[in-house]
């Protein structure tokens, strides 16, 4: 089971920043999970929230704010860390270690994704990291667009625990997932994971910081465990190996 650092090592550094991704590497993660969206001037930035109240104490909407302005936001101090800034996806792809798996979540809740899928596909191809990237999204339209833009890229559908399970798992996921399915860990059962594996899909589950639960998921056959604490999780799993 491979460990992916959730928004980087976000328990120990400000989420979705270069600092968090560097910390993930230091802690021995196998890769990272990160969030990508389009900002007001068209660049793809790495950020989870549509608005910056939680991250920076600012009322700015990311999709309406240009990059020159977004880069001034401090997204470290409000989370209890040193000052940090929102990075471009291209900066992150350049900075990550060459062996890292990169799970890029396309963050868009609307039908129109502002070109997000196409832009991410172009960046991944240009950086030459296609073989290390898994692209996921809660929005199936983003994954359909990614299929059209770059059919070679690995796709994984994120299953929302607050929406109807059967529709997502059995109707939508088979249409848009080429590599993996990404359920909340509480929705993982041995039967479900066995069925996905029988269909040729890997399972990437989120967000797990409890070692005993991680061991259960590993026994079930989970391929990727997304965690805020990759170093501590690695140590815990090794301790009982």
Q: Over the stretch 66-83, which tens digit does the pLDDT of each residue have?
A: 999 999 999 999 999 999
Q: Which residue(s) pair with 137 in the sheet?
A: 157
- For 159-197, the pLDDT digits (tens) are 999 999 999 999 999 999 999 999 999 999 999 999 999
Q: Which of 204, 206, 219 is nearest to 101 (CA)?
A: 204
Strand 2-6 relative to strand 31-38, pairing: parallel
Q: Which of 86, 79, 93, 78 is nearest to 124 (CA)?
A: 93
Q: What average pLDDT does range 210-223 have in this prediction?
A: 97
Q: How distant is the alpha carbon of residue 205 from its chain centre? A: 11
End-to-end CA gap in the chain = 12
CB atoms under 10 Å from CB of 104, counted, come to 26
pLDDT band at 11 (very low <50, low <70, confident <90, very high): very high
CB 140 within 8 A of CB 168: no
What pLDDT score does 55 carry?
98
Q: What percent of the chain has pLDDT over 90?
A: 98
Output the furthest CA–CA distance in the chain (Å, rounded): 49
Domains and CATH numbers, the chain: 2-36+100-239 (3.20.20.190)
Q: What percent of the chain has pLDDT over 70?
A: 99
CB-based contacts of 61: which residues, under 8 Å, 6+ apart?
A: 50, 51
CB atoms under 10 Å from CB of 186, counted, come to 10
- Tokens matching residue 54: 């939680």
Residue 9 has pLDDT above 90, yes or no: yes
Q: What average pLDDT does range 107-136 have in this prediction?
A: 97
Q: What average pLDDT does range 148-167 have in this prediction?
A: 97
What pLDDT score does 30 carry?
98
What pLDDT score does 134 carry?
98
pLDDT band at 239 (very low <50, low <70, confident <90, very high): confident
pLDDT band at 222 (very low <50, low <70, confident <90, very high): very high
SS3 label, residue 135: strand
What pLDDT score does 241 carry?
59
Q: Which residue(s) pair with 44 in the sheet?
A: 38
* CA 148/CA 216 separation, integer angstroms: 37
């Amino acid at each position: 089971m491979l460990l992916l650092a959730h928004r980087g090592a976000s328990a120990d550094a400000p989420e979705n920043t270069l600092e968090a991704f560097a910390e993930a590497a230091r802690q021995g993660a196998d890769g990272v999970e990160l969030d990508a969206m389009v900002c007001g001037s068209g660049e793809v930035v790495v950020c989870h929230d549509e608005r910056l109240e939680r991250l920076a104490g600012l009322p700015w909407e990311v999709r309406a704010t240009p990059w020159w302005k977004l880069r001034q936001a401090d997204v470290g101090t409000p989370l209890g860390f040193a000052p940090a800034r929102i990075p471009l996806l291209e900066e992150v792809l350049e900075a990550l270690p060459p062996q890292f798996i990169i799970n890029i979540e396309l963050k868009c809740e609307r039908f129109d994704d502002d070109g997000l899928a196409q832009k991410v596909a172009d960046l991944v191809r240009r950086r030459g990291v296609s073989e290390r990237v898994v692209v996921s999204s809660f929005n199936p339209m983003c994954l359909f667009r990614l299929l059209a833009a770059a059919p070679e890229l690995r796709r994984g559908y994120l299953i929302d625990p607050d929406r109807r399970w059967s529709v997502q798992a059995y109707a939508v996921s088979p249409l848009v997932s080429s590599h993996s399915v990404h359920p909340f860990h509480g929705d993982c059962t041995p039967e479900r994971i066995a069925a996905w594996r029988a269909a040729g899909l890997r399972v990437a589950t989120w967000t797990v910081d409890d070692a005993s639960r991680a061991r259960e998921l590993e026994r079930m056959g989970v391929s990727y465990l997304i965690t805020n604490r990759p170093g501590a999780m690695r140590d815990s799993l090794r301790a009982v190996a």
